[in-house]
């Protein structure tokens, strides 16, 4: 016999002494350890104590028969490997053995050669399964020992998932995960990411698979936002590699903290410290970009400068701190009412700028007028209201940032000269 057999332990249950003794010697030679018993009760006892890999049992025995014993063993371990030996070819026994998913049914007198061959076959299966299981365990260990969140998938099903991956989504098994998210794409929650459901599906339609899609994206943009079990959004860097012909290893690195730090750094550069709205630097950058877009696509672009009226007097009357509070109130109000596509920024002091994307002078003037009214009716608890004046203009061919800004500033000057608290536009 080859080395598949003597790695496993065997339990042999047989009530006839000479039969048991006769086969025991042969079985001892092919097993790691042989346990023998004379009846089902003793056999079950030995099974519970030693958990042998293979059970060979007679059917007709005193105290507890082989079928009864096997039924109890199967209740303990559904995958237990059982071979029946019986002098009875009655179909009732056979059917019971089949129902128990027995590994074999050998008629007595059993030829030794056949018994050993059967054991060898079962042993081979058991050992290969054990090795497989060990490999899975090793792989799971490697996956879990990394701090990263990892899965192996053929893009339809997941074959491996690290504990951290399952925990993140509040599930404990892959099965549970797949019930919650029928397709892997369902975990993607942010359409602002380049890697979003819609983009991936579009690419798949064009014959570009998930793997190719991710890898063609610039590394700095391989970011996905995922919602954890508590509903919190986390950012992950996604890395994907191919294993074999159908499987992919997807690795997710939590960069939430990094993203927050980056955002904080950006805020420092692009946000005004008093009002927290965008500052002049941000405005200049966006202004430059929007002028280019307007030139290229021939879409209207307008801007407005707004300046608080007599703010020096206001500060002198109520003090600088109240002045600051009013600047914050004004900023919050206008920011809240600024369209997503527009930009509102503090230019400096008590002067602010607005950029109206895809908007002509007439529409921009109306928007400015709305803001003027809004601020006029805004009441500071102790100092009452302030008013603002607006200068508005629209982008003209060959305008530079400077020439456009100058025209808006001229319009503002006009507004100040026509009694303030009004909007003037210039083209
Ligand atoms: P006008 O209607 O012509 O604009 O008059 P004005 O007084 O608003 O204009 P001026 O340019 O003479 O004065 C601007 C004032 O804005 C001076 C300053 O006290 C005030 N100011 C600028 N920045 C701040 C700030 O950050 N906080 C406070 N509280 N006041 C500021
Ligand atoms: Mg001013
Ligand atoms: Mg002013």
Find the CATH number of the domain harbouring 41: 3.40.50.2300
Kindly give the distance from the C-alpha atom of residue 372 to the centroid of ligand 2, in angstroms, as a whole number.
Answer: 16
Report the greatest alpha carbon distance in the chain. 123
Question: Does 144 reside within a domain?
Answer: no
Q: From the candidates 45, 350, 351, 414, which is the catalytic residue?
A: 350
Q: Do 300 and 420 belong to one domain?
A: yes
Q: What pTM did the predictor assign?
A: 0.55
Q: Residue 306 Cα, ligand 3 centroid: separation in angstroms?
A: 9
List Cβ neighbours of 41 (8 Å cut-off, separation of 6 or more).
63, 64, 69
Partners of 380 in beta bridges:
384
User: If you take atom 6 of ligand 1, which residue's CA is the nearest one?
Assistant: 310
Is there a domain that residue 85 lies in? Answer: yes
Q: Are 376 and 276 in the same domain?
A: yes
What pairing do the DSSP bridges indicate for beta strands 54-58 and 301-308?
A: unpaired
Q: Are residues 325 and 396 in the same domain?
A: yes
Instruction: Tell which of 78, 105, 132 closes a domain.
Output: 132
Q: Measuring from atom 24 of ligand 1, which residue has the nearest CA? A: 349
| Centroid of ligand 1 to alpha carbon of 145 (angstroms) | 60
Q: Are residues 280 and 332 in the same domain?
A: yes
- Ligand 1 pocket, residues with Cβ under 6 angstroms: 274, 307-313, 315, 320, 323-324, 327, 349-350, 416, 420
Q: Which residues contact 404 (CB under 8 A, 6 or more apart)?
A: 291, 303, 393, 395, 396
Residue 247 lies in a domain: yes
* Residue 292: exposure state from Cβ atoms within 10 A (0-12, 13-18, ≥19): exposed
- Give 155's DSSP letter: S
Domain finish residue from 210, 235, 261? 261
Pocket test of ligand 1: the residue of 274, 311, 318, 422 to mutate, having most ligand atoms within 8 Å of its CB, is 311
Judgement on whether residues 249 and 116 belong to the same structural domain of the protein: no
The residue whose CA is least distant from atom 25 of ligand 1 is: 349
Residue 83 belongs to some domain of the structure? yes
The answer to whether position 363 is within a domain reads: yes
404 lies in the same domain as 296: yes
Nearest protein Cα to ligand 1, atom 31: 349
Q: Ligand 1 center to residue 312 CA distance, Å?
A: 5
Tell me how far the alpha carbon of residue 389 lies from the centroid of ligand 3, in angstroms: 8
Q: How many domains does one find in the chain?
A: 3
Backbone angles phi, psi at 92, to 5 degrees: -60, -45
Cis omega (within 30 of 0) on the bond before 398?
no
Is residue 184 in a domain?
A: yes
66, 163: one domain:
no
Q: What is the CATH number of the domain that holds 211?
A: 3.30.450
Residue with CA closest to ligand 1 atom 13: 312
* Closest atom of ligand 1 to CA, residue 274: 26
The CA distance from 10 to 380, in Å, is 89
For residue 315, give the CATH number of its domain. 3.30.70.270
Residue 340 is a catalytic residue: no
142 is a domain residue: no
140 within a domain of the structure (yes/no): no
Q: Which atom of ligand 1 is nearest to the CA of 309?
A: 2
pLDDT tens series, the chain, 427 aa:
456 778 899 999 999 999 999 999 999 988 999 999 999 999 999 999 999 999 999 998 988 999 999 999 999 999 999 999 988 767 788 888 888 889 989 988 899 999 999 998 899 989 888 888 888 887 777 777 766 789 999 888 899 999 999 999 999 999 999 999 998 889 987 777 888 888 888 888 988 888 889 998 988 889 999 999 999 999 999 999 998 888 999 999 888 988 888 888 888 899 999 999 999 999 999 999 999 999 999 999 999 999 999 999 999 999 999 999 999 999 999 999 999 899 999 999 999 999 999 999 999 999 999 999 999 999 999 999 999 999 999 999 989 999 999 999 999 999 999 999 999 999 9
119 and 211, same domain (yes or no) = no
Is there a single domain that holds both residue 183 and residue 288?
A: no
In the sheet where 54-58 sits, what is the strand order? 33-37, 9-13, 54-58, 81-86, 104-107
Clarify whether residues 257 and 323 are in a common domain: no
Which are the contacts of 150, defined by CB distance < 8 A and separation ≥ 6? 143, 160, 161, 162, 165, 249, 250, 251, 252
Are 156 and 232 part of one and the same domain?
yes
Which of 69, 102, 132 corresponds to the end of one domain?
A: 132
Question: Which residues form the domain of 176?
Answer: 149-261
Q: Are residues 154 and 113 in the same domain?
A: no
């Amino acid at each position: 016999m080859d080395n598949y057999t003597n790695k496993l332990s065997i339990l042999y249950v047989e009530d006839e002494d000479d039969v048991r003794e006769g086969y025991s010697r042969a079985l001892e030679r092919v097993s790691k350890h042989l346990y023998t018993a004379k009846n089902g009760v003793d056999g079950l006892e030995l099974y519970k104590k030693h958990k042998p890999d293979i059970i060979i049992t007679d059917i007709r025995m005193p105290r507890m028969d082989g079928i009864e014993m096997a039924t109890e063993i199967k209740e303990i371990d559904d995958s237990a490997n059982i071979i029946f030996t019986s002098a009875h070819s009655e179909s009732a026994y056979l059917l019971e053995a089949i129902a128990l998913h027995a590994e074999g049914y050998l008629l007595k007198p059993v030829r030794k050669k056949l018994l050993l061959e059967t054991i060898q076959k079962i042993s081979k299966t058991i050992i290969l399964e054990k090795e497989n299981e060990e490999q899975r365990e090793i792989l799971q260990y490697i996956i879990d020992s990394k701090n990263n969140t990892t899965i192996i998938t053929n893009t339809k099903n997941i074959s491996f998932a690290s504990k951290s991956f399952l925990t993140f989504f509040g599930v404990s098994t892959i099965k549970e995960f797949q019930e919650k998210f029928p397709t892997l794409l369902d975990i993607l929650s942010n359409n602002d990411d380049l890697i979003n459901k819609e983009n991936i599906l579009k690419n798949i339609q064009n014959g570009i698979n998930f793997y190719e899609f991710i890898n063609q994206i610039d590394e700095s943009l391989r970011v996905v936002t995922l919602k954890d079990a508590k509903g919190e959004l986390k950012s992950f860097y996604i890395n994907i590699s191919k294993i074999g012909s159908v499987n992919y290893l997807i690795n997710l690195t939590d960069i939430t903290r990094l993203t927050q730090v980056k955002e904080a750094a950006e805020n420092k550069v692009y946000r005004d410290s008093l009002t927290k709205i965008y500052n002049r630097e941000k405005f200049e950058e966006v202004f430059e970009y929007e002028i280019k877009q307007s030139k290229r696509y021939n879409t209207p672009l307008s801007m407005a400068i707004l300046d608080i009226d007599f703010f020096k007097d206001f500060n002198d009357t109520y003090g600088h701190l109240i002045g600051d509070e009013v600047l914050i109130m004004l900023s919050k109000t206008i920011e809240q009412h600024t369209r997503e596509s527009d930009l509102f920024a503090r230019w400096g002091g008590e002067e602010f700028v607005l950029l109206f994307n895809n908007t002509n002078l007439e529409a921009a003037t109306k928007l400015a007028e709305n803001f003027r009214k809004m601020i006029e009716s805004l009441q500071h608890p102790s100092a009452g209201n302030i008013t603002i004046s607006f200068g508005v203009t629209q982008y003209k061919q060959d305008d530079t940032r400077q020439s456009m800004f100058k025209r808006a500033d001229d319009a503002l000057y006009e507004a100040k000269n026509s009694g303030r608290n009004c909007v003037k536009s210039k083209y």
